[in-house]
A and B are shown apart, each in its own frame.
Chain A
Amino acid sequence: MKRPGRRGTQLACLFLLGCLLFNFPMLALFNVPAKILGLPVLYAYVFTVWLLLIVLLAVVMERKD
């Protein structure tokens, strides 16, 4: 089988990171009735992680090989 290469490895790690952060028990940590900067923590957490994932993805994909 073809070896995934450097970018492939980075993507696989990113995927696993996303699976971890968008899952129990990480979500349970933020499933509390508290607020941060006026936003519910769960809402803030999900969107922050989401944005982080997209930024990392953009870095990995747009970087020259």
Chain B
Amino acid sequence: MLEGWVIVGASFAYIGLLFAIAFYADRRADAGRSVIANPWIYSLSLAVYATAWTFYGSVGRAASDGVGFLPIYIGPTLMIVLWWLVVRKMIRIAKLNRTTSLADFVAARYGRSALIGGLVTVIAVIGILPYISLQLKAISTSFQILMEYPQIVMPAKAGALSVMQDTAFYVALFLAMFTIAFGTRQLDAAERHEGMVAAIAFESIVKLVAFLAVGVFVTFVMYDGPGDIFERAARRPDLAALMTPFGGAAGGYASWVWLTVLSMMAIMFLPRQFQVAVIENVDERHVKRAMWVFPLYMLAINLFVLPIAIGGLLHFPDNVDADTFVLTLPMARGNEALALLVFIGGLSAATGMVIVETIALSTMVCNDLVMPLVLRLRKYRLAERDLSTLLLDIRRAAIVAILMMGYFYYLLAGEAYALVSIGLISFSAVAQFGPVMIGGLYWKGATRAGALTGLTAGFLVWTYTLLLPAFAKSGWLGFGIEFLERGPFGIELLRPTQLFGLTGLDQITHAMIWSFIANVGLYIGVSVLGRQSAAEHAQATLFVDVYKQTGERGLQWRGTASASSLQTLLGRFQGPARAAELFSAYARERGLKSVEELEGDAELVRYAELQLAGTIGAASARAMVATVAQEDPLGIDEVMTILDEASQVIAYSHRLEDQQRELEAATSELKAANDRLKELDRMKDDFISTVTHELRTPLTSIRAFSEILHDNPDLDAAERQRFLGLVIKESERLTRLINQVLDLAKIESGLALWNTGELDLREIVVDAVNATSPLFRSKGVAIETAMPALVPAVVADRDRLTQVLLNLLSNAVKFCPAGTGRVQVRLAADIGGVLVEVRDNGPGISPEHQAMIFEKFRQVGDTLTQKPSGTGLGLSICRRIIGHFGGRLWVESAPGRGSVFSFVLPCPTAS
């Protein structure tokens, strides 16, 4: 049954099924009903980690090392424990930056450096070539073995046949076409491939089922369960040794530990793992379930590896390669269906890896290696042409080139190593990304120069200690085994596999130690010694503090450009229709009716750059946007904002300073309030003592005169009359005083009743003058009034206002010299109000007394020698009354020149 056409037919049927799944998933995605948007599919897509290496190679490794194949899966399990912290952060950053690949991610972290992106791409491509060659080798080997059925014959060595007869060559070509069809059908703004992910998830199920099937078959059909297999193994000393693979020395453990570390790096930084875990992630919450489902998958697919390996060793003599046991054991028992299923399972493991890896690598090559160079050519910058087909062509060419290079690596070095060893060379290469990636996520101080030197050094050491020996063993490049044994130019210290005399370790451990010393050492050293530019620091902050970002990006493009030029630019890479669609979507989001209304502000520039970054990567997008947008130089304020740490500290200290200032202000206010309270308290005491004093004076007089009258009943009538008159006068003064104190208290407490209405001031002046005219006459003081025919009405209380005028007039007459006294009352319309002046030709008031006279109980003159002629409350009350109606009362005077008391009342009509 297993003729050639059946095998080929089954392979094509399987590939056709993959296409159908991918097509369906893409259709669903376009319809907005994604099939991959669930954590199970995400977990299964991560299992692209299990390649032909796992499928065929693990058994080969187990046949020589026992459990020694397991660090490749235990390392990822340990790393995944930290994924909730690490990968979630990478997903968040990648989404914010529209990252398209691992190279893009690293480049963006280190100041959007095209140089770093290019370097990462070169390392990734060269590093992954052995890995791709491994898949080609596995497919072609399994195909050739299956073709020989029912015989079990190991295939011819690679290179023994001409290229045209070599199955691996056709496999490479076929995979290239297949990948092109899968990955580069369209340019996606987010560089996501839903169809591919769905197909990969399906492939993960196929390879797991196939492997478990063969595991159950070998363990339970060929043998009597695991107990039986291990029992038989224990009876053969060479197999019994596999159960205790570490031997006695600690050297075996070093290898185990380094393989674990290596795999921890690989699960994060293999381009395809980064692609499925970060770029293709739909929802970061999917990581949650994948964190235990994916390790469970790895455990399941490894469960039967050791039983199969031992079963194969027990069953076959030495001439069968342990890497083929998975396939040759069912064949040996004549189970054709299982053999075909195994072949398909191996095919699915290999194709899954090749598809995702080459798509990831071709994106890198296009966005981070070729585009930055193309964009340097002026004619592409300036030509108004559609670059989207160019982008696709570059990617297609990259896919073919990568697979062909993988094939040639297979020809050159493929036979010198077992599957796992080939894969480990690739693992060691991508592990070089570990320091710059992890450091970039958590260490803001890591610089571009540090990343560049660390990566370069690590890569060079890797090349020297792993890649060159691989070539040397195959006799390629002109130098052979003696180069490995004696070192270059006979310098033994520089032997690639025993660098600086380090021996006793396996090749991978040896290479990892030296490359990590170089990589990490220079990365940290150069970063610590060097300095970051502002833009670099901005990107570093964006990455390290990604959880602190709220919504939009930290540092915005500070420039402006015309909206149409941005749209044209985007159109050149994504097609004009797609660009128009994106811009109108943006306009709609902003609540604008059309794209024409868009302003080419910093936000729009940023939007266009992000869209572009999704197609050509961050570094190239920056460069392209720079051709149409003018960036303003950074102002000092922006620099301060960028220097987040510094600025935060500054902001905090500013705030502290502010608070301190506020505190000081509050303290001084409190102090002032306290002083004022004390002053008020003192004033109240003064007031009470003054009032009581003022009350006592007339009381004393009244009492004295009353006693005289009482004690001298024979006082003559005239004298008695005089004394009674004095008693009455003093009583009146007492009454007046008490009235005024009450009045003042009422006004001050706000309890006074005001009968407010519109008044004509002229009437009040006339009334007041009439009321006081007896006083003027009796003292011989002349009074004149000067009033315009019409004054604006004021709003006030008639009685209160009369009270003020009476007070001012009686004061004036009081201080005028008898006989020659002259008082003038003038009424005039003033700006916004009415002015009333009462002028006398009395002794005048010295400037230092002018403020005092309005205080309570203050009277000018010596109260000890002169008998006070008023209560000392009148002016104080007047000022409060005028103040109540929004006016102002003041005095202008100089000693010897008389005084002018004036007040202004606002009138509503004038304002």
Contact = CB atoms under 8 A, between A and B. Distances in A.
A and B are interacting partners: yes
Nearest to B229: A38
B234 A22 contact: no
B306 interface: yes
Interface string A1-43: 0101001100110110011001110011001110101111011
B227 A39 contact: yes
Given A2-B547, A61-B289, A31 B296 contact: no
B85 A31 contact: no
Given A22-B260, A33-B240, A61 B306 contact: no
B299 A11 contact: no
Nearest to B296: A54
Interface string B64-84: 001100100010011011101
Contacts of B231: 38
Given A8-B85, A18-B81, A61-B291, A24 B260 contact: no
Contact of A38 (B80, B227, B295, B296): B227
Nearest to A14: B81
A58 B67 contact: no
Interface stretch (B242-250, B329-337, B350-358, B627-635): B242-250
Contact of A43 (B240, B243, B253): B243
Query: Which one of B81, B226, B234, B295 has the greatest number of beta carbons of chain A within 10 Å?
Result: B81
Contacts of A12: 82, 85
Interface string A48-65: 001101110110011000
Place the interface of chain A in its size category.
Answer: 35 or more
Interface in B545-582: 547-548
B292 A40 contact: no
Contacts of A53: 77, 81, 295
Contacts of B230: 35, 38-40, 43
Interface in B221-236: 225-227, 230-231, 234
A25 B230 CA distance: 24
Contacts of A31: 244-246
Contact of B256 (A8, A27, A47, A54): A27
Nearest to B75: A22
Contacts of A24: 250, 253, 256-257
Nearest to A2: B547
Contacts of B74: 18, 22, 46, 50
A18 B77 contact: yes
Contacts of B70: 46
Nearest to A32: B244
Contacts of A27: 246, 253, 256
Given A15-B82, A22-B260, A38-B231, A54 B77 contact: yes
A11 B243 CA distance: 31
B244 A54 contact: no
Contacts of B493: none
A7 B243 contact: no
Given A18-B78, A31-B246, A54 B292 contact: yes
A60 B84 CA distance: 11
A54 B291 CA distance: 8
Given A19-B78, A33-B244, A42-B67, A57 B291 contact: yes
Contacts of B246: 27-28, 31
B292 A11 contact: no
A38 B226 contact: yes
Contact of B81 (A11, A33, A40): A11
A22 B369 CA distance: 40
B849 interface: no
A55 B253 CA distance: 26
B288 interface: yes
B851 interface: no
A57 B243 contact: no
Interface in B280-326: 288-289, 291-292, 295-296, 299, 303, 306
Contacts of A19: 78
Place the interface of chain B in its size category.
Answer: 35 or more
A31 to B, nearest CB: 5
Q: Is the interface of A mostly helix, strand, loop or mixed?
A: helix
Contacts of A11: 81-82, 84-85
B163 to A, nearest CB: 43
A39 B226 contact: yes
B376 to A, nearest CB: 39
Nearest to B287: A61
Query: Which one of B67, B231, B296 has the greatest number of beta carbons of chain A within 10 Å?
Result: B67
B257 A50 contact: no
Contacts of A14: 81
A49 B289 CA distance: 20
Contacts of B295: 50, 53-54, 57
Contacts of B226: 38-39
Nearest to A7: B84
A54 B293 CA distance: 8
A43 B242 CA distance: 10
Contact of B288 (A22, A32, A51, A62): A62
B822 to A, nearest CB: 88
A26 to B, nearest CB: 10
A58 B82 CA distance: 13
Contact of B292 (A8, A22, A35, A61): A61
Interface in B755-805: none
Interface of A: 2, 4, 7-8, 11-12, 14-15, 18-19, 22-24, 27-28, 31-33, 35, 37-40, 42-43, 46-47, 50-51, 53-55, 57-58, 61-62
Interface of B: 66-67, 70, 74, 77-78, 80-82, 84-85, 225-227, 230-231, 234, 240, 243-246, 250, 253, 256-257, 260, 288-289, 291-292, 295-296, 299, 303, 306, 547-548
Given A33-B234, A35-B234, A42-B245, 12 more contacts: A11-B81, A11-B85, A15-B78, A18-B74, A18-B81, A23-B257, A24-B257, A38-B231, A42-B244, A43-B66, A46-B67, A62-B289
25 contacts: A7-B84, A8-B85, A11-B84, A11-B85, A15-B78, A15-B82, A18-B78, A24-B253, A24-B256, A33-B243, A37-B227, A38-B227, A39-B226, A40-B243, A40-B244, A42-B66, A42-B67, A42-B243, A46-B70, A50-B77, A53-B81, A53-B295, A54-B295, A57-B80, A62-B289
